Amino acid sequence: MTALHIPSFTTLQIELKEHIGWLRLNRPEKANSINQAMWDELPQALAWLQRQTTLRVLVLTGNGRHFTAGIDLAILRRERDAIAANACGSRGREGFLDFIESAQHAFNAFENLRVPVIAAIQGVCIGGGVDLIAACDLRICSVDARFCVKEVDVGIVPDVGTIQRLRHVIGYSALTELSYTGETFDGAKAQRLGLVSQVCPSEEALKQTAAELAATIAAKPPVAVRGIKRNLLFSRDHSVADGLAYAAAWNAGMTMGRDLDESMAALSEKRTPEYRD
- Active-site residues: which are they? 71, 128, 131, 151, 159
- The helix (run of H) or strand (run of E) holding residue 104 is helix 89-112
CA angle 157, 163, 165 (to 5 degrees): 150
83 within 8 A of 93, measured Cβ to Cβ: yes
CA 96 from chain centre, in angstroms, equals 24
230/220 Cα distance (integer angstroms): 16
Cβ count near 75 (within 10 Å): 17
Give CA–CA dist 60/58, Å, rounded: 6
Which DSSP letter does residue 54 get? T
Distance of CA 243 to the CA centre of its chain: 23
